[in-house]
């Protein structure tokens, strides 16, 4: 059903909102997105930003603030990196040997998903006991390069955690392969991957708890495979924005794509209270 944010704000008590493709494009904030987020919050709607960022909540919040979003307009950023940190913390000494060598691959050199944990960072996958695929640098390196880096670990059966399941990412250079594509490559090479983030259940449980168990929750995102499928499987209503990953598809093409992946309850033109 086509509708708009103003109509949905009247129908739902709380919101889980994606970052990239909804609030942010590959370079900064979408026009009107910071104002819309603040306006929704001022209506008394609890908001958790639900993101497949491999970074933890704090660096995500810092980036959003730098790009013009008021940190008071949402409760927290429940990122896949934040969910991964909680899971890894519980695993150390319970399946993961304390002090294990960990290779973290992320953008901007970010290691927040393991900072403070009893793990030893290493700079090469081939000597690691655990791999954390938290981000993609496919705008710098080819999949063939990733294959070379990961082959020794795959042969040794080193377990990997993908803490950003997105198959594609928005960058200033356009869409590029995301961390999920690197993790998929690792699986194809025989490696084992544990996936953390949307559309998987853990991140939705943590996000719902952060909302205070609100009754009528709407998930807003730009990905049928992650935002719509994940929200639906978690028992929430879903809205797909026409910005982001599939903004170049016609309405008919988008409908066909959703029919093969996951059909949203609503489609909105953008995350804005403006009448377009």
Residues 6 or more apart from 252 whose CB is under 8 A from it?
none
Q: Is the domain 5-15+25-31+42-81+198-268 a CATH 3.20.20.70 member?
A: no
3 state SS of 201:
helix
Report the predicted TM-score, pTM, of the whole model to 2 decimal places. Answer: 0.89
Q: What is the pLDDT along the chain (276 residues), one digit of tens a residue?
A: 899 999 999 999 999 999 999 999 978 999 999 999 999 999 999 999 999 999 999 999 999 999 999 999 999 999 999 999 999 999 999 999 999 999 999 988 889 889 999 999 999 999 999 999 999 998 889 999 999 999 999 999 999 999 999 888 777 767 788 999 999 999 999 999 999 999 999 999 999 999 987 789 999 999 999 999 999 999 999 999 999 888 889 999 999 999 999 999 999 999 999 754
Domains in the chain: boundaries: 5-15+25-31+42-81+198-268, 96-195
**95 burial level (CB within 10 Å; 0-12, 13-18, 19+):** exposed
> In DSSP terms, which residues pair with 268 in a beta bridge?
241
Q: Per-residue DSSP letters for 228-272?
A: IHHHHHTT-EEEEESSGGGTTS-HHHHHHHHHHH---SEEESSS-
CB atoms within 10 A of CB 166: 27
Domains 5-15+25-31+42-81+198-268 and 96-195 share a fold: yes
3-state SS of 58-88?
A: HHHHHHHHHCCCCHHHCCEEEEHHHHHHHHH
CATH number of 96-195: 3.40.50.1000
Which segments of 111-186 are extended strands (E)?
Answer: 119-121, 130-133, 160-162, 168-171, 174-177
């Amino acid at each position: 059903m086509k509708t708009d944010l103003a109509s949905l704000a009247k129908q739902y008590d709380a919101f889980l909102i994606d970052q990239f493709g909804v609030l942010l494009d590959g370079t900064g904030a979408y026009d009107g997105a910071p104002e819309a987020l603040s306006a929704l919050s001022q209506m008394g709607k609890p908001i958790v930003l639900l993101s497949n960022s491999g970074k933890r909540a704090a660096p995500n919040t810092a980036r959003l603030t730098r790009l013009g979003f008021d940190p008071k307009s949402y409760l927290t950023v429940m990122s896949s990196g934040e969910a991964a940190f909680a899971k890894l913390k519980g695993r150390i000494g319970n399946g993961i040997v304390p002090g294990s060598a960990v290779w973290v691959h992320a953008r901007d050199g970010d290691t927040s998903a393991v900072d403070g944990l009893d793990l030893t960072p290493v700079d090469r996958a081939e000597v690691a006991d655990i791999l954390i695929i938290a981000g993609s640098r496919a705008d710098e390196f080819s999949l063939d390069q990733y294959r070379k880096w990961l082959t020794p670990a795959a042969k040794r059966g080193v377990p990997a955690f993908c803490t950003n399941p997105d198959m594609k990412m928005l960058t200033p250079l356009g869409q590029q392969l995301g961390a999920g594509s690197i993790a998929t490559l690792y699986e194809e090479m025989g490696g084992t991957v544990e996936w953390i983030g949307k559309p998987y259940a853990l991140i939705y449980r943590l996000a719902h708890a952060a909302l205070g168990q609100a009754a009528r929750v709407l998930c807003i995102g730009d990905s049928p495979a992650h935002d719509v499928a994940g929200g639906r499987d978690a028992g929430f209503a879903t809205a797909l924005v026409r910005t982001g990953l599939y903004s170049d598809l016609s309405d008919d093409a988008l409908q066909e794509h959703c029919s093969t992946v996951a059909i949203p309850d609503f489609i909105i033109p953008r995350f804005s209270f403006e009448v377009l």
